Amino acid sequence: MQVNLKQLSNNKDNSNQSTNLVKVSICVATYKRPNLLRDLLVSLNNLTFTQSSIPVIEVIIVDNDSACSAKATVEQIRSSFQWPLTYFVEANQGVTYARNRCIQEASRDSDFIAMLDDDETATPQWLDELLINQQKSNAEIVTGPSLAVYKDNQQVPDWIRVGGFYSFPRYETGKRMETAFTNNVMFSTKLLKNLKDNETLFDNRFAQNGAEDAYLFSCLNKQGYKIVWVDDAVLHEPVDDKRLSLNWILKRGFWSWSVHSFIEAELYPSFKIQAIRAIKGLGLIFIGLVTIVPSLLLGRAKVAWALLRVSRGMGTLSGLLGRQGSWR
């Protein structure tokens, strides 16, 4: 664990609700996606504010590619960009190193850090919704949906559309959440005040396999920090062609459920909680196995869901054993 959450919990302070302008550092870690990064920056350039005062904004790009593959994209858009735009290279490979560098480069007088992924685009009201609902809820952390979208003329197998494998849950605005993810989150910089020299926010144990965000925000939730869902703070994420396969969907299912049980086992190391999680994992495997044969009569989407339940169940057990799946 990199950040001293006990210190943070002893210094919980309400987020800024004043009518003065707030400053937001929008942080993006990127790796070899210059075209998608361009689309993201264009969308950030079109942010609008109708509910909250226009904040002071800076956009920070941290390139995790030592070959500087994102530099040309940033330079091309800089002259027409309405917000201050800075670019840095983080040579240490791994998502946590890039995200921690983002935090390091954010202005010290920022009130909030907003994070999103380099393959997403923001709707015009994205940041406005996060800000106004942070003020309403007084939450230290606000998060919203990242909606998968298919590209025009993309060859998407019918079974993926029918099965809804890229339709993710949404919630009522204001709902308390147990965790959040850096694909759509904004948090108060007051959470950073107790970081010591050379101490980082994101745990570098997760540098190669991800889930550093789920771990961080689950820890903060355990310490009593408020995480609130904002359903209209929408981002869009195009579904890459390589993700349109059963193999990728099963691997992702294994990874995501291994992450959940891995984090739960570390934060709540009671025999009862882990036994319940193990039973749920075994239950998923059982249900998946017994539904495979009948699902053969109902179409490929049903077969895929049966296999996905098995994969999720195996991931659950793997996480309980301290083994996190691969996220790529």
pLDDT computed for residue 5 by the predictor: 44
pLDDT computed for residue 226 by the predictor: 96
Query: What is the value of pTM for the model shown?
Result: 0.88
Neighbouring C-alpha atoms within 13 Å toward the C-beta of 169: 6
Mean pLDDT by groups of 10 residues along the chain of 328 residues: 41 44 96 96 97 95 96 95 96 94 94 97 98 96 96 93 93 96 96 80 89 94 95 96 95 94 92 94 96 93 97 96 79
pLDDT computed for residue 103 by the predictor: 94
294-314 tens-digit pLDDT:
999 999 999 999 999 999 999
279: which strand partners?
Answer: none
Inter-residue contact 316 to 258 (CB < 8 Å): yes
pLDDT computed for residue 280 by the predictor: 96
Strands 85-89 and 146-149: unpaired
And the tokens for 293? 């044969």
pLDDT computed for residue 327 by the predictor: 66
pLDDT above 70: percentage of residues in the chain:
94
pLDDT computed for residue 94 by the predictor: 94
